[in-house]
Amino acid sequence: MANLDEAIFLRINGWVGSVPALDHMVGWLVSDYLVSTVLGFSLVVLWLAGRDDETRMRNQVGVLMALVGMALASWLVFVSNGLFFRERPFIDLDVNLLFYRPTDSSMPANSAAAFFGIASAIWWVNRRAGMALLAVAGLHAFLRVYTGVHYPSDVVVGALIGVVGVASAYRLKGLVDPLPAMAVKAARILCLA
């Protein structure tokens, strides 16, 4: 499996340098800020969107679930990093690096866990927006491999952790069901929703 992961990585990363303008754009797209900002802005828009009170409540609970799911996914990444450390591809391989050299574990990809967590949480309440954000998260994960900072399995495992984090948040919501709605109502009293 490791050889397949490495072979796929080398194939994808080998495209770097073919089109310098594309490489420049990819470096900008895969930065630590762009996708984070897009997903954060999407959560704000979802928090404020809704034609009626029921839709707004569903959207706002979805935003809360996205935040709880992302927290759970981040915790799972933290725990897995404590149990297992994987070197980044640029440590062991001759890589065309288009990004700075992160020092944390390559597996699982923290950004993939966070981005897929947020996107899948939005998918639960708004399929169209969720699919668009899942595509953004998927593109970002692919570009992290392209730029030389993750193996393909790193981003796949990160994405799975993000989805599991959100699914767990929704499972927990069933146990404490009135609390998310009460939190939204409290935010509305404070003119935050």
- pLDDT value at position 21? 95
Query: Alpha-carbon distance 164 to 70, whole Å?
Result: 10
**Residue 137: which pLDDT band, with cuts at 50, 70 and 90?**
very high
- pLDDT value at position 185? 81
- pLDDT value at position 172? 85
Residue matched to tokens 């409540």: 57
Domain range list for the chain: 2-9+19-86+106-189
Q: Which residues of 46-79 are buried (b: 16+ CB within 10 A; e: fewer)?
A: bbeebeeeeebbbbbbbbbbbebbbebbbebbee
pLDDT higher than 90, residue 77: yes
- pLDDT value at position 175? 76
Which residues have a Cβ under 8 Å from the Cβ of 61 and sit 6 or more positions away? 125, 173, 180, 181, 184
pLDDT higher than 90, residue 103: yes
CB 169 within 8 A of CB 124: no
- pLDDT value at position 1? 64
